[in-house]
């Protein structure tokens, strides 16, 4: 039986009544109680009453207008944004401060402030309202107040940006042009910035517009040359509140000399020195650090929680410097996937694991060309990683006896709940191809039996070779969990 629909609350009825006459709604804003603004704004937004939206932006009685949380559920972003920005234009053009002018930030992020609209639309007591907006935020302001625009703080427009295409979409193009024309009175603040597209010129132009000190997370995941890196790093040093940095695929020029390489390293590391709040560092296929990793490590100004050096070319000296760095001693996540250690002594890796043993939760050593000899050295250190929860080292040539020793050495690591291990050498019929399913099932059963004897309930998956088409791996439990290519075939 369908539950009967609740009748509209009085506040909703009042809002609907006002919106039947937009001129009346706009005129009533000066006398509208603070508690009625969010419900009326929701009604105007849903009904696309542009004139009312513009007027409400100008009279908004809170420091922040979380418009992005509403736009996330509506397809007509352009229409809504245009109405809001036109309202801000009218606000910025006034020489007399409107009665309720408190707006300091227009937040266009879609994944924050959801609770604001939920709380206000559900109706709250005045005490709850005051608690929500902060002490004094719900108090009435003087009717009129003259202002001097020379001392007014710029209005902040906050947005998270993700570039996936070569050109900006209509929404971002309109916003960027609006901000550009109001430089000085409006600041574009981007907390999270992700770039997956070329050309890089769009990215570089954007960096000239945003407040670089506002950026907290930066992901640049597209191939670029060191010359482009040289143009970027001066901007990096201005991102003084950066928490997460990801750079990938920095290519070396064909005839790079040692002097040029030293210059690029010094240029990059000198900016890392200015990032006092950096806690997550991801470098993927960034090869100019080979033999120079110590320079970057010396420039770290705060302890890292995450360090990911994947598919980079490193020397044994680089790993030794890494194991001695004080600012990696509290790592929670270490990812060295794709770092070839075939001709590198396992001792630096052992020292590194011992250094982070008290805090490390996730360890990835996939595709590192590790052998039994490497693992026999680092096994005791692995057993001391008391907080380890996930460990993956697929794509390495490891025998069944070493896997058995691994389970024995990590028996005391009670936090470890997921192990992604390579299919043992004994499961393969030859040097190439997939493991023999029957043989692999027997070996998998032996490993599971050892876990049971040790009182462990962790998930144990054995990984085969990477798919040449999609780059994903087939895992066995013991039945194969095929990559998407096989499922489509």
Task: Please report the pLDDT score of residue 75 as a whole number.
Answer: 58
Positive or negative torsion for Cα 158, 159, 160, 165: negative
Task: Please report the pLDDT score of residue 460 as a whole number.
Answer: 94
| Percentage of the chain modeled with pLDDT above 90 | 45
pLDDT tens-digit series, residues 338-359: 999 999 999 999 999 999 999 9
Judged against a pLDDT cut of 70, whether residue 132 lies above it is answered with no
pLDDT band at residue 31 using 50, 70 and 90 as cut-offs: confident
**Per-domain boundaries in the chain:** 10-139, 150-282
Judged against a pLDDT cut of 50, whether residue 136 lies above it is answered with no
Judged against a pLDDT cut of 80, whether residue 252 lies above it is answered with no
- Confirm if 384 and 359 have CB atoms less than 8 A apart: no
Judged against a pLDDT cut of 70, whether residue 152 lies above it is answered with no
pLDDT tens-digit series, residues 436-459: 889 999 999 999 999 999 998 889
Phi, psi at 243, each rounded to 5°: -105, -35
Most confident of 64-73, 216-225, 247-256, 406-415: 406-415
Most confident of 34-43, 282-291, 432-441, 474-483: 282-291
Task: Please report the pLDDT score of residue 487 as a whole number.
Answer: 54
Q: Which residue has the higher pLDDT, 197 or 80?
A: 80
Task: Please report the pLDDT score of residue 276 as a whole number.
Answer: 94
Judged against a pLDDT cut of 90, whether residue 308 lies above it is answered with yes
Task: Please report the pLDDT score of residue 320 as a whole number.
Answer: 95
Give me the mean pLDDT over the 318-336 stretch.
Answer: 96
pLDDT tens-digit series, residues 176-190: 889 989 888 899 999
Task: Please report the pLDDT score of residue 107 as a whole number.
Answer: 93
Task: Please report the pLDDT score of residue 200 as a whole number.
Answer: 72
Task: Please report the pLDDT score of residue 134 as a whole number.
Answer: 40
pLDDT tens-digit series, residues 453-477: 999 888 999 998 887 777 788 899 8
pLDDT tens-digit series, residues 284-301: 998 888 899 999 999 999
Long-range contacts of 402-406 (CB under 8 A, 24+ apart): 402/372, 402/375, 402/376, 403/447, 404/446, 404/447, 404/450, 405/375, 405/376, 405/379, 406/375, 406/379, 406/382
Architecture of the 150-282 domain? Alpha-Beta Horseshoe (3.80)
Give me the mean pLDDT over the 322-344 stretch.
Answer: 95
- Confirm if 45 and 86 have CB atoms less than 8 A apart: no
Judged against a pLDDT cut of 80, whether residue 159 lies above it is answered with yes
Give me the mean pLDDT over the 247-268 stretch.
Answer: 71
Give, to the nearest 10 degrees, the angle between helix 37-46 and helix 114-122.
110
Q: Which residue has the higher pLDDT, 268 or 3?
A: 268
Give the start-end residues of each E strand in 59-185.
Answer: 64-65, 96-97, 105-107, 145-146, 155-158, 161-163
pLDDT tens-digit series, residues 192-239: 999 886 667 778 888 888 999 999 999 988 777 777 777 888 899 999
């Amino acid at each position: 039986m369908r539950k009967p629909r609740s009748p509209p609350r009085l506040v909703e009825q009042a809002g609907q009544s006002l919106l039947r006459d937009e001129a009346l709604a706009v005129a009533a804003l000066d006398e509208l109680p603070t508690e009625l603004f969010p419900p009326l704004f929701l009604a105007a937004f849903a009904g696309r009453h542009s004139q009312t939206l513009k007027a409400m932006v100008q009279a908004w009685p809170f420091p922040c207008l979380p418009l992005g949380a509403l736009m996330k559920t509506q397809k007509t972003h352009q229409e809504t944004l245009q109405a809001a920005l036109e309202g801000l234009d009218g606000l910025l053009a006034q020489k007399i401060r409107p009665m309720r002018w408190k707006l300091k930030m227009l937040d266009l992020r879609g994944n924050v402030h959801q609770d604001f609209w939920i709380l206000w639309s559900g109706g709250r007591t005045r005490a709850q309202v005051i608690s929500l907006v902060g002490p004094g935020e719900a108090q009435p302001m003087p009717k009129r107040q003259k202002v001097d625009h020379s001392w007014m703080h710029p209005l902040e427009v906050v947005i998270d940006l993700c570039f996936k295409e070569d050109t900006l979409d209509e929404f971002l193009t309109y916003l960027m042009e609006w901000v550009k024309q109001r430089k000085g009175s409006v600041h574009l603040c981007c907390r999270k910035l992700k770039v997956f597209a070329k050309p890089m010129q769009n990215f570089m132009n954007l960096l000239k517009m945003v407040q670089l000190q506002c950026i907290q997370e930066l992901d640049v995941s597209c191939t670029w040359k060191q010359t482009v890196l040289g143009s970027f790093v001066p901007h990096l040093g201005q991102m003084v509140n950066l928490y997460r940095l990801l750079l990938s695929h920095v290519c070396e020029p064909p005839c790079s000399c040692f002097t040029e390489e030293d210059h690029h390293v010094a240029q990059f590391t000198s900016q890392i020195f200015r990032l006092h709040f950096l806690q997550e560092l991801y470098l993927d296929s960034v090869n100019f650090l080979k033999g120079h990793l110590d320079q970057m490590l010396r420039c770290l100004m705060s302890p890292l929680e995450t360090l990911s050096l994947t598919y980079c070319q490193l020397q044994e000296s680089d790993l030794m410097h890494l194991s001695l760095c004080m600012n990696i001693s509290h790592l929670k996540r270490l990812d060295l996937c794709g770092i070839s250690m075939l001709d590198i002594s396992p001792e630096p890796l052992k020292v590194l694991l011992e250094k982070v043993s008290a805090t490390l939760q996730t360890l990835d050593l996939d595709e590192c060309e590790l052998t039994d000899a490497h693992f026999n050295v680092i096994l005791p250190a692995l057993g001391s990683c008391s907080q380890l929860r996930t460990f993956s080292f697929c794509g390495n040539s490891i025998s069944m006896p070493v896997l058995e020793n691994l389970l024995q050495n990590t028996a005391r690591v009670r936090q470890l709940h997921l192990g992604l291990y390579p299919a043992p050498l004994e499961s393969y019929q030859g040097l190439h191809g997939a493991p023999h399913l029957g043989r692999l099932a027997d070996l998998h059963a032996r490993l599971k039996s050892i876990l049971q004897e040790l009182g462990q309930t962790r998930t144990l998956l054995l990984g085969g070779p990477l798919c040449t088409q999609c780059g994903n791996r087939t895992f066995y439990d013991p039945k194969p969990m095929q990559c998407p290519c096989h499922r489509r075939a």
